């Protein structure tokens, strides 16, 4: 039986993970659950899954959670703070870690899981975007395993040979095809994008996601981050990773081989499919997702993205080509700009402009350790804040 730590258990990925776990009580048990500030939701999860440990962001949140668990006569130990996240990610009693904390906040705990040799189910893009080489090296050095949860990367994983060793030529692969829904503004007049509201931007046509990730989908920065992630996961150079817009979100990604074959993974748009795949790999288990009805879908459409409509995607390719800390700078600037947009401090089309300014002005140094990486992240955030009023 696998003991699971779910980092970010109250988010959409965390909730889906617990749904899959609940379907297989003979295979999985919950060791630890974490959330930053959603005390009520975390308390309900603890009452249902009885984890040994629960982690929140602050002492105040910990006190509130303790009171709720005490009222429910639950003996779950409550911890708080960033170090506690690392402790439950690397604990000896834990076998598998679902890394689903959004943003740079999930970096340290994901690295802790890698250094502890855990099976890591990676749903946190930023861990690879910011510290790709550091994380890949830690996984290799400590004999951890890294399984992608993003639907696109999990689809690629399913289409690769089982003995794939992060080399496209050695596996006879021509390129990787990352599919993208195109978000809510795929057909909207570009001239009207200045007037986009946060409510419009978070209304994704296919996926139910958090507000930040939904905005990233609308700008296609989400896909840009996935390009960088694919580079580190699969050892693919930027020119061998092609983004293809596929509004139906039925084909989650593809792998093109040199013999002319293209392998694709299809399924209904539900994150429980990749979660179940990674939890049970190399086996298959029931996920709760309905079977795909191709006759009902009828047709599938594809088109190449327009960088004029989606400049954030081009910025991500530029960051990957530049190397060093450029991807960390991109990510930090994007987080600041997206939050400013959600706060109605800047317009939708200012997001890419803020990111471009930060990337243009800050030097892209080498990423040697996590401290240097965090310093670059903080510099980028500080400069991005200064750009909001320009």
Alpha-carbon distance of 45 to 262, in angstroms, equals 41
Residues of the chain with pLDDT under 70: 207-208, 390
Phi, psi of 315 (to 5 degrees): -60, -35
Phi, psi of 28 (to 5 degrees): -135, 145
pLDDT at residue number 356: 97
Alpha-carbon distance of 188 to 100, in angstroms, equals 31
pLDDT at residue number 126: 80
Which residues face 180 on adjacent strands? 245
Q: At what angle do helices 221-234 and 311-322 cross, to 10 degrees?
A: 30
Q: Which residue, chain included where needed, has tokens 């975390």?
A: 42
Pairing of strands 241-245, 96-99: unpaired
Q: Tell me which residue of 134, 114, 163, 315 sits closest to 228, measured CA to CA.
A: 315
- Radius of gyration (C-alpha) of the chain in whole angstroms: 20
pLDDT at residue number 124: 86
pLDDT at residue number 322: 93
pLDDT at residue number 374: 85
Give pLDDT tens digits for 52-65: 999 999 999 999 99
Q: Are 84 and 63 in contact (CB under 8 A)?
A: no
Surface-to-core class of residue 278, CB atoms within 10 Å of its CB (0-12 exposed, 13-18 middle, 19+ buried): buried
Question: How many C-beta neighbours within 10 Å does residue 148 have?
Answer: 26
Q: Which residues of 85-122 are buried (b: 16+ CB within 10 A; e: fewer)?
A: bbbbbbbeebbbbbbbbbbbbbbbbbbbbbbbebbbbb
Which domains does the chain possess? 2-148 (3.40.50.720), 153-268+292-307 (no CATH), 323-390 (1.10.1740.10)
Q: Are 253 and 153 in contact (CB under 8 A)?
A: yes
Where residue 54 falls (left for φ over 0; alpha for ψ -120 to 50; beta otherwise) is beta
Mean pLDDT score of the chain, rounded to an integer? 94
pLDDT at residue number 390: 66
pTM higher than 0.75: yes
pLDDT at residue number 369: 84
């Amino acid at each position: 039986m696998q003991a699971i730590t779910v980092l970010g258990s109250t988010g959409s990925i965390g909730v889906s993970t617990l749904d899959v776990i609940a379907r297989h009580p003979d295979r999985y048990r919950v060791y630890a659950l974490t959330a930053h500030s959603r005390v009520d939701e975390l308390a309900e999860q603890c009452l249902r899954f009885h984890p040994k440990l629960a982690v929140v962001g602050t002492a105040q949140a910990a006190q509130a959670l303790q009171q709720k668990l005490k009222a429910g006569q639950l003996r779950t130990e409550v911890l708080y703070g960033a170090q506690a996240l690392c402790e439950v990610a690397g604990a000896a009693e834990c076998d598998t870690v679902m890394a689903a904390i959004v943003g740079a906040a999930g970096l340290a705990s994901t690295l802790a899981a890698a250094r502890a040799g855990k099976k890591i189910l990676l749903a946190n893009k930023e861990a690879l975007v910011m510290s790709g080489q550091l994380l890949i090296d830690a996984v290799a050095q400590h004999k951890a395993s890294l399984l992608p949860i993003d639907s696109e990367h999990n689809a690629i994983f399913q289409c690769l040979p089982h003995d794939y060793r992060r080399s496209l030529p050695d596996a006879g692969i021509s390129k990787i095809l990352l599919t993208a829904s195109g978000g809510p503004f795929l057909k909207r007049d570009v001239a009207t994008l200045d007037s986009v509201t946060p409510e419009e931007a978070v209304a994704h046509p296919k996926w139910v996601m958090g507000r930040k990730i939904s905005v990233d989908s609308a700008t296609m920065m989400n896909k840009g981050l996935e390009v960088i992630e694919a580079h580190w996961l699969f050892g693919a150079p930027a020119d061998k990773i092609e983004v293809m817009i596929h509004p139906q979100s039925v084909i989650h990604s593809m792998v093109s081989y040199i013999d002319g074959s293209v392998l694709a993974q299809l399924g209904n748009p539900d994150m429980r499919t990749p979660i179940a795949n990674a939890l049970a790999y190399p086996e298959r288990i029931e996920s709760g997702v309905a079977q795909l009805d191709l006759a009902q879908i009828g047709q599938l459409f594809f088109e190449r993205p327009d960088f004029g409509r989606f400049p954030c995607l081009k910025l991500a390719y530029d960051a990957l080509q530049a190397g060093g800390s450029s991807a960390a700078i991109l990510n930090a600037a994007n987080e600041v700009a997206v939050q400013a947009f959600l706060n109605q401090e800047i317009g939708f089309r200012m997001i890419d402009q803020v990111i471009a300014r930060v990337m243009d002005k800050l030097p892209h140094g080498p990423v040697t350790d996590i401290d240097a990486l965090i310093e670059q992240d903080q510099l980028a955030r500080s400069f991005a804040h200064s750009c909001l009023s320009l």
